[in-house]
Amino acid sequence: MRTVTRPTGGHLDVRPLTGADERSVGAPTRLEACRLAARVASLPPRSATEVPLVDIDAILRVIHEALYGDRVSSEVACRGCEDPLEVLLSLGAISEPPGELPVDRVGEVEYAVHGARFRLPTTADVIAVDSEPSEHRGEALRSRLLLDGELSVDVLDAALDEVACCHEANLEVRCERCGATTSAQFLLHEHLLRSIAMEQRWLIREIHLLASSYGWPLADIERLTRTERRQMARLIQADRAGAAP
């Protein structure tokens, strides 16, 4: 169990991932990421979409650190020659807020800037705004978050960057081969869910090994933490390798 300090205040206990959690991971969307965070941090599923994204991201970061560490390595195709380019970053380095606006905290999830009050965005806000045409999304988010006063979309964006900095980054990667510069966007929730989904084939293999060796029902095996399951699968493989003629 790990304890997460919520950026909005207080703490949450995050339990280790089980096979059932790993199998539950679907498309790398904000909603799926919210569901995973709610499972492992025991947030009430119905209200989890109302939890600020910055808190959800703090949970996702703890999951990422437990599974893969703080470093992220991913690939993007070069814009010039289409060669794969490696993108390396540290989660700690991209979660630092820029801190350029005089934004004041006025409650757990409410802030004030230039005399206007706004609240922090949630998964429900992202889902609602995503259904709008892309050119209207900034305005749609502004009208959902603004509680009092007037704020332009740009000022609200800058204020959110300062107080609700999620684990996102826009990176420029230069290709050694052709010299072209390629933009790469990193979103923690997408990266984490994709990484877990890619490992689901190993999960099935590990479940099969445990089920065929111990005769345990699927539900029992899925309740094991990822670490326990992997250790047992390794032992079974070692036994089988030792028993082979």
- Residues in the site for Zn ion, rule: CB under 5 A? 78, 80-81, 83, 175, 177-178, 180
Query: 41: closest CA among 4, 14, 6, 8?
Result: 14
Q: Which residues contact 51 (CB under 8 A, 6 or more apart)?
A: 34, 37, 38, 43, 122, 123
Nearer to Zn ion, 78 or 163 (CB): 78
Q: How many CA atoms lie within 13 A of 102 on its CB side?
A: 3
Q: How far is the CB of 85 from Zn ion (least distance, A)?
A: 7
Q: How far is the CB of 195 from Zn ion (least distance, A)?
A: 25
In the bound state with Zn ion, the residue whose beta carbon lies nearer, of 174 and 205, is 174
State whether residue 217 is helix, strand or coil: coil
**Minimum CB–partner distance for residue 180 and Zn ion (Å):** 5
Least distance (Å) from Zn ion to the CB of residue 78?
A: 3
- Contacts of residue 7, Cβ cutoff 8 Å, sequence gap at least 6: 52, 54, 55, 58, 164
Min separation Cβ 63 and Zn ion, Å: 33
* Closer CB to Zn ion, 120 or 175, in the complex: 175
| Nearer to Zn ion (CB atom), residue 80 or residue 92 | 80
Nearer to Zn ion, 80 or 217 (CB): 80
The CA-atom distances, in angstroms, between 69 and each of 2, 32, 62, 216, 242 are 14, 21, 9, 31, 32
